[in-house]
Structure formats: C-alpha cells, structure tokens
Amino acid sequence: MTYSKGKLNGSVLIVKNGKIVCNTALGYRNIEKKIKADKNTSFYIASLRKSFTATAILMLRQKELLNLDDKASQYVKLPGYATNITIRQLLQHTSGIKDYESLFSKTGLTNLDVIHWLYAQKSLDFAPDSQFKYSNSGYIILSRIIENVSGKSYSTFMNQYIFGPLHMNNTYVYEPTTVIQNKALGYNQQQKSDDYSIFTTGDGGIYSTPEDLYQFDQALRNFTLINESNTASMYSPHKLSNGKLTNYGFAWFIDQKEGEKSVSHTGGLNGFRAVFWRDLQHNSCIIALTNQGDAFPLADFLNDTKKAIQ
C-alpha cells in the first residue's frame, strides 16, 4: 500500500457493509510523556465539525424554526454587504463570505473575533451562488444562528440534542473551560508540539473519537436526528447561477458514480488531521483521526482502504 512507509499515530475505525472490520488506536496521545492513545482518546476533528453544524441547522428547520432560504441576517447581525446571503448559501459555501483563514494562527481566537474581522472587510468575495468557495466564516455565522434560534449556546445544543442522545461520551466542544482527560496533543511531522489553541465554534473546535463519529454516521443513516427529506438535502449538490453543479451539499463533499453515492469530509489544523468517508449505499465508512501533522499520508490511506472495502 502507498501509505505503508508512514507510521500512523492516531485512531482508525473501518466499517464494511455494516460490520466493523477495524477499530484500533496506535501510537501516543502525548509523545513527551509516552502516554499511549486508546480507542477513547479524543482527537481534534477540525472541519469534520461542520457536519454537526449542518445537522443542527436542519434540526431547527425540521422544527420549523427557520427556513434554509431565509436571510442569515434575520437571525444574526451581519455587515451591510452580507445582509442578503441565505442560510442555504452559507451551508453550501456559495455565499461569497470571506474566509478568515488569515487569523488561524491567533491563539485563543473566538467567534466574536471572526465577526469583528468580517465587519472590517468591505465586500463579499463574489456574488452569492455564482461560485463555490470554501469559507470557515460561513459556519461561524451558522453557529451563531443555532444559538440565537435555539436560545442555547452551541455547546449546550450539541450536548443536549446530538452528543447526549447518541451516547457520544468522548466528544466535546472545545471551550476555554473544557477539560478532556483523555485528550490527544497535536504534533508536527518532526514530533514537535503543534497543539490546537483557538475557540471558534461551528467550523471546527470539536474533539471526538472514531467510535463516537460512527454513532453519528449511524444516526444519519437511520434518520434519528433529521428525517429522510432533510437528510437527502444534505447530500444533494448545489446548482450555481451559471448552471454548473458543485460537488458539495451541506457539509459533505459528494462523489456520485454509476448510481453509487459516497460523501466525505476532511479536516486539518495544527498537528491534527481527520477524514470521514461514508458509502451511502453499502453502510460502509472509514474514519481516521491523527495527531502527527502530515507525517502519515492520510489521503493515500483513505484511497487504498476504499478499494479494499468496496
């Protein structure tokens, strides 16, 4: 296999046709202290978190508390240039809202910092629905909408309506006061500390395990959180104003070939990398979380593993 020269430091769960064929943790959650990772070690999942945010929005839609084509500014105060963008466009990365990636290196970054940064910008990147451009800022806005519509903090909403009911006992929204006993620390390729240190919610900021993410996978397949119609919309590509289709639904990249559909998302920040791939037809999935930067070629691992289970 093409990844065989790399040594995995992390946790992996592989499911083929509804049966778990691999569930393991390898290496260390703390390299300096030589503390080994186990299957309950929580890793930072980066942008995999967006799927939780999208699900929460659809849960609110299902309760008829909002509509996807509502203007986001109905629920959260936005700069003048952004008052007409919709919730749907934010979900699909077609709103034109600028990505705050230039702030990623700021320790302790919060949602409020991002909102202030958006107010300092002068315009959208492009006319809404004219193109697809990945924007973490859009999911920050969505998290604020979840809070304002539900009347609960983002972390409380997640714990009460998703993590708790699904028994995701090793999954946490990372906040300044969060204590995670079995937490993986992040490292770069040279095994130097490169840990996660910002506090935005909606786009990232969740620690989890492959087993917990598999509970989320099963809940989506079984329509436990959202109904079949809302689930289908999550996996539907978006048509741009020029007629072209994107390969992104609501927080899932879509791959459709010969009637077979799979969805996936990846994540990476500081020393953490994550991948979540789901075959929608065959109840198969691959979940891998690592804390070693790019030392292990996760993309190669995913491609080889997909071939092995399909």
Q: Which domains does the chain have, with CATH numbers?
A: 10-309 (3.40.710.10)
pLDDT of 1 strictly over 70: no
The better pLDDT of the pair 49, 200 is held by 49
pLDDT, position 37 = 97
Q: Mind listing the pLDDT tens digit for each residue in 50-89?
A: 999 999 999 999 999 999 999 999 999 999 999 999 999 9
Question: 222: helix, coil or strand?
Answer: coil
- List strands edge to edge, sheet with 253-257: 19-26, 10-16, 284-290, 272-279, 260-269, 253-257
Task: Report percent pLDDT > 70 for the chain.
Answer: 98
Query: What confidence tens digit (pLDDT) does each residue in 198-232 have?
Result: 778 877 789 999 999 999 999 999 999 999 999 99
Note the pLDDT tens digit of each residue in 252-282: 999 998 888 999 999 988 899 999 999 999 9
Write the pLDDT tens digit of every residue in 149-196: 999 999 999 999 999 999 999 999 998 888 999 999 999 888 888 887
Q: What is the mean pLDDT of residues 93-117?
A: 88
Average pLDDT across the chain, whole number:
93
Planar angle of CA 53, 272, 285, nearest 5 degrees:
60
Q: What is the DSSP letter of 193?
A: B
Please give the single-letter amino acid code of residue 98: K
121-134: buried (b, 16+ CB within 10 Å) or exposed (e) per residue?
Answer: eeebeeebbebbee
pLDDT, residue 130, reads 98
More confident of the two residues 304 and 71: 71
pLDDT score of 296: 80
Check pLDDT > 80 for residue 112. Answer: yes
pLDDT over 90 at 20, yes or no: yes
**Over 80: is that where the pLDDT of 5 sits?**
no
Instruction: Write down the pLDDT at residue 176.
Output: 82
Q: Is the pLDDT of residue 146 over 80?
A: yes
Q: Are 46 and 134 in contact (CB under 8 A)?
A: no
Q: What are phi and psi of 139, to 5 degrees?
A: -80, -20
Kindly report the pTM of this predicted structure. 0.94
Provide the pLDDT for residue 6. Answer: 57
Entry field: residues in the chain: 310
Q: By C-alpha distance, which of 22, 56, 37 is closest to 285?
A: 22
